[in-house]
């Protein structure tokens, strides 16, 4: 997979899957704008160039500025990766009982931010002759839950639908859009698993492939979908869950 000289914007790159993806792209020679509200993390210094833009991706003015700065620095934009997301176990509950202000904020972070990055990246991708996008949803988009986080699940289902729509709109103009649905992955979002080996062992036993997913698993799938090796793949979702969704 050849990425050298390409330019990417990775939203949610302050940690977890986004940081892993950005780091792997930089290592492949991609110039990457890492975007997040968090403080700047450590990431590789080359062969691609990484630039950190700190701000709120639900703020359209900030998103527009980050995209403009990326194009100004590198002259083009080829890839967009959306990994931004929150999962608030203490506040995100059944829609029959949760505070709807929490619902609105989850939707803004998990869906609106994706719409904003797409809105401002697509015109620049068209100028570059096309591009590819990967949007991170979740297997929660495909199932219910007796211990629900309804705003999170609904937002991730919306990501799948948004990605499909964008894929159809821009397929003939050389832009591909796909979504990845992770399963059980140990990231900062799942800090409740930290230092709890018995919990991790139980989850690994539940996953058919026998282990908890890693950020590297997600990055490998993402780089494939961005690459020219996936040039005939658009408007679909790739489940990366170790076989969870195949279980009865």
Q: What is the DSSP letter of 161?
A: H
Active site residue 79: no
CA 117 to chain centroid: 11
The answer to whether 33 and 69 are in contact (CB under 8 A) is: yes
pLDDT by residue for the chain (248 residues), tens only, comes to 789 899 999 999 999 999 999 999 999 999 999 999 999 999 999 999 999 999 999 999 999 999 999 999 999 999 999 999 999 988 999 999 999 999 999 999 999 999 999 999 999 999 999 999 999 999 999 988 888 999 999 999 999 999 999 999 999 999 999 999 999 887 776 666 666 688 888 888 999 999 999 999 999 999 999 999 999 999 999 999 999 999 98
Q: What pLDDT is recorded for position 244? A: 94
Q: What is the DSSP letter of 112?
A: I
Q: What pLDDT is recorded for position 32? A: 98
User: DSSP states of 197-235 as a string?
Assistant: HHHHHHHHHHSTTSS-B-HHHHHHHHHHHHSGGGTT--S
Q: What pLDDT is recorded for position 193? A: 62
CA 156 to chain centroid: 11
Q: What pLDDT is recorded for position 145? A: 82
Q: What pLDDT is recorded for position 126? A: 98
Q: pTM for this one? A: 0.95
| C-alpha neighbours within 13 Å on the C-beta side of residue 187 | 27
Domain boundaries, given as residue ranges, for the chain: 7-239
Residues 7-239, CATH architecture: 3-Layer(aba) Sandwich (3.40)
- SS3 (DSSP) at 239: strand
**How many beta carbons lie within 10 A of that of residue 203, not counting itself?**
20
How far is 207 from 195, CA to CA, in rounded Å? 19
How far is 106 from 92, CA to CA, in rounded Å? 8
Q: What pLDDT is recorded for position 190? A: 66
């Amino acid at each position: 997979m050849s990425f050298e000289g390409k330019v990417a914007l990775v939203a949610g790159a302050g940690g977890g899957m986004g940081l892993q993806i950005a780091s792997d792209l930089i290592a492949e020679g991609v110039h990457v704008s890492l975007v997040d509200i968090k403080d700047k993390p450590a990431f590789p210094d080359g062969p691609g160039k990484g630039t950190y833009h700190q701000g709120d991706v639900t703020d359209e003015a900030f998103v527009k500025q980050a995209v403009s700065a990326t194009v100004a620095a590198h002259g083009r934009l080829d890839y967009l990766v959306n990994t931004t997301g929150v999962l608030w176990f203490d506040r995100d509950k059944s829609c029959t009982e949760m505070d709807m202000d929490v619902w609105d904020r989850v939707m803004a972070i998990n869906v609106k931010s994706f719409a904003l990055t797409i809105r401002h990246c697509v015109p620049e991708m068209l100028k570059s002759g096309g591009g590819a996008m990967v949007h991170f949803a979740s297997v929660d988009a495909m199932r219910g839950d007796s211990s629900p986080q309804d705003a999170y699940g609904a937002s991730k289902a919306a990501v799948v639908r948004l990605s499909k729509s964008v894929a159809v709109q821009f397929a003939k103009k050389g832009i591909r859009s796909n979504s990845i649905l992770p399963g059980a992955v140990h990231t900062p979002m799942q800090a409740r698993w930290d230092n709890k080996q018995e919990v991790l062992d139980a989850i690994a036993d539940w996953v058919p492939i026998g282990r908890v997913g890693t950020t590297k698993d997600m990055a490998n799938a993402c780089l494939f979908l961005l690459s020219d090796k996936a040039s005939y793949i658009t408007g679909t979702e790739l489940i990366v869950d170790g076989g969870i969704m195949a279980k009865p």
